[in-house]
C-alpha cells in the first residue's frame, strides 16, 4: 500500500491527466495498492463488476481500485511473501518450495518487455509451461 505523489506533469511515466481532482499541485494520492501483485476478494470483484458503469477509471489501474474501495469496508493487507524482487530470488524461493506469484524487475519499473518475457519469468520461477494459461483457484 502506498500514497505517492500525483504526477501532474505531462510526458512523465504514470502521469495523471485528472491531477486537479486531488487538490493542489504536489498533493498525494489516497492509499492504494501498488507493486507486482494485488488480489481482491470475490465480493469486491463482484462489486466492481456490478458497478463498473459508475466507477471512475483513472489513468492508473491501482489508483482506480484504491478510489473504488475508499467507501467500502475493505481490509488492506500488505503481504509480500508471494513476490520476488529479482529472478535469482525467485529461483531460490522456487527451489525451497516457495513459488513466487509475481516477479518484479526494479530496473524498469515492472517486468521489462513483459509480453516477450512472461513465459521465461514463469519458467524461471518454477511453474510449468501451462501455468499462466491454465491457472485454477
| Contact (Cβ atoms closer than 8 angstroms) between residue 65 and residue 18 | no
What is the helix (H) or strand (E) element at residue 51, kind and residue range? helix 42-51
| Cα-only R_g, the chain | 17
38 and 59 in one domain? yes
Residues 66 and 120 occupy one common structural domain: no
DSSP class of residue 22 equals G
Whole-number Å distance between alpha carbons of 15 and 9:
6
pLDDT band at 132 (very low <50, low <70, confident <90, very high): low
Q: Are residues 26 and 39 in the same domain?
A: yes
* 23 and 69 belong to one structural domain: yes
Q: Is the same domain home to 51 and 85?
A: no
What gap in Å lies between CA 1 and CA 33, rounded to an integer? 5
Q: pLDDT by residue (tens digit) across 70-92?
A: 888 888 777 666 677 666 777 77
**Count of domains observed in the chain:** 2
- Which of 33, 50, 78 corresponds to the end of one domain? 78
In this predicted model, which residue has the larger pLDDT, 54 or 96?
Answer: 54
Rounded to whole angstroms, the Cα distance separating 27 from 136 reads 40
Clarify whether residues 88 and 74 are in a common domain.
no
123: containing domain: 80-133
* Whole-prediction pTM: 0.60
CB distance 55 to 21 below 8 Å: no
Do 126 and 60 reside in the same domain of the chain? Answer: no
Tens digit of each residue's pLDDT (9 = 90 or more) over 38-47: 778 889 889 9
Instruction: Give Cα 107 to chain centroid, integer Å.
Output: 17
Same domain, 89 and 23: no
Amino acid at each position: 500500500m502506498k500514497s505517492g505523489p500525483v504526477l501532474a506533469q505531462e510526458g512523465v511515466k504514470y502521469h495523471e491527466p485528472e491531477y486537479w481532482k486531488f487538490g493542489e499541485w504536489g498533493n498525494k494520492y489516497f492509499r492504494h495498492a501498488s507493486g507486482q501483485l494485488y488480489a481482491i476478494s470475490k465480493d469486491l470483484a463482484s462489486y466492481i463488476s456490478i458497478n463498473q458503469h459508475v466507477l471512475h477509471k483513472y489513468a492508473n489501474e491501482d489508483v482506480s481500485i484504491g478510489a473504488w474501495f475508499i467507501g467500502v469496508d475493505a481490509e488492506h493487507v500488505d503481504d509480500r511473501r508471494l513476490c520476488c524482487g529479482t529472478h535469482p530470488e525467485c529461483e531460490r524461493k522456487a527451489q525451497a518450495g516457495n513459488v513466487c506469484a509475481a516477479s518484479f524487475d526494479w530496473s524498469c519499473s515492472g517486468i521489462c518487455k513483459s509480453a516477450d518475457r512472461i513465459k521465461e519469468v514463469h519458467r524461471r520461477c518454477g511453474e510449468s509451461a501451462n501455468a499462466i494459461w491454465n491457472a485454477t483457484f
